[in-house]
Structure formats: structure tokens, C-alpha cells
Amino acid sequence: MTTSPSKILVWDWTIRLVHWLMVVLVPLLWWTAEEGHMDWHKSLGLTMFSLVLFRLIWGFMGSWTARFVPMVRRIGSLRPYLGTLRNRQFAPTFGHSPLSVLSVFALLLALVTQVTTGLFSVDVDGLESGPLAIWISFETGREAADIHEFNFKILSLLIGLHLIAIAIYRFVIKEKLVWPMISGHRDRQDFPSDLLPENRAHLLPVIIAATLSLASVFALVNLG
């Protein structure tokens, strides 16, 4: 490890940047939609689209704790993990715990649904629409908008659960999860294993994932 020996990198900088940008964007997207600032809503929505896409690509070529395959494998140890929570024999997971893997996938699915339906949504007056609504009828665009609206409730619910879980970990299990999501690091001694995977964000995959997600947004804007 290249970091100081007492600390270890759990979340690489791209994961943290994407996470906190999403934290800023979700309330802004909600507010711009409520107030009818649709030009802003569309620009911010496309930004969100590129972040979600980056995260999905990063799940295949990113740092170890960001990768989907080890995350999916970890779901298998959900039952013993829940047991350790109950017995108060909690030991932190390097990366997402088996329970938080489920939370991450649910949140990502809700975000994918939200940005995808947003691209096709048409407002009730036919005056405003997402960049791909040009391909579909008014009626189908209205259905996309209905899903867009309903799915936001699901997304809000999942975000609420996420916050409650963080509070439970903080005050019941005495695990501070917010600081590592800011600094990226945890104490090396939190993890007894000697064989922790190398977890840095390498430059080349960052460039590839960022280029792919930005290029998709430009393609979307030009298609619409």
C-alpha cells in the first residue's frame, strides 16, 4: 500500500466524488422539478445520467470496493453478517457489507430507472420533454413521466432507509460510516486480514469510464 501504514483506502476518489455529487443533485433535481425550472432540471438530469453511467462502468473496471462481481458474491454471506449484527460481534467489511450491497443495488436500480424515464418524459401540456421523447408518442411520454414521478418516491424511500441505516450503525453499532466516505480512509487495524486488495483508482480506467459516460451524454443531447 502506498498510503500511510496506519490508514487504508476504502473508497477511491471517484466513488466519493460521484456519491457526494449525487447527494447535491437529488435535492436540486427535486426542487427544479417542483418549481418548474425545466431547463435546469434537464441539464442537471443529464449530469446525473452521466454520474450513474460512470458508476455502472466503474462497477466493472473500477477499484476493488467499487466492483459489482465481488459485491454480488458477498450477498452469499448476508445471513452470517446479520448474525454478527445481532450478537454484537460486528466486524467491519472492507468495502460494502453484504447488507449494504443490497442497498447499493437498490439505489442504483432506482437511479437508473429515474434517469432513463426522465429522458423520455413529456409534461402534461406537451410543452416540455426529455431529449429522447421525440422518438415516442405523447401518451407514452406521459406514461414515462408517471413512472418518473412514482419512482422518485421509491428513490426517496431508499435514501431515507440509507440515512436511517447510517444512524443505526453510528449510534447502535458505533460504526462511523460518513467520515470514510469523505476522506476515503479507515484505520488499517479495522481489518485484521493481511491480504487486502489494492484499491486505488487507476488513471487509465478513470479516463475510459469518464470519456464513455460524457460521450453518451453528448450523444443523447445530439439525438434529441
Partner 1 sequence: MKRCKIQFILPALAGLTLLSACGQNSESEPASEAASAELPNGMTVKEQIEARQGQLKKMGKAFKAISDQLKAGSPDVAQIQTAAAVVPKEAVGMADWFPAGSGPESGVETEALPVIWENTADFNDKVTALQEAAAQLETIAQGGDVAAIGAAFKTTGGTCKACHDKYRLDD
The contact set with partner 1 (CB under 8 A) reads 36, 122, 124-129, 131, 133-134, 137-138, 141, 149, 222, 224
Residue nearer to partner 1 on the CB measure, 17 or 147 = 147
Task: Output the smallest distance, CB 139 to partner 1, in A.
Answer: 8
Choose between 31 and 60: whose C-beta lies nearer to partner 1.
31
Rounded Cα–Cα distance for residues 109 and 111 (Å) = 5
| In the complex, least distance from residue 147 CB atom to partner 1, rounded to whole angstroms | 14
Question: At closest approach, how far in Å is the CB of 127 from partner 1?
Answer: 4
Nearer to partner 1, 140 or 211 (CB): 140
| Nearer CB in complex with partner 1: 42/74 | 42
Q: What is the closest distance, in whole angstroms, from the C-beta atom of residue 133 to partner 1 in the complex?
A: 7
The amino acid occupying position 47 is T
Q: What single letter denotes the amino acid at residue 219?
A: A
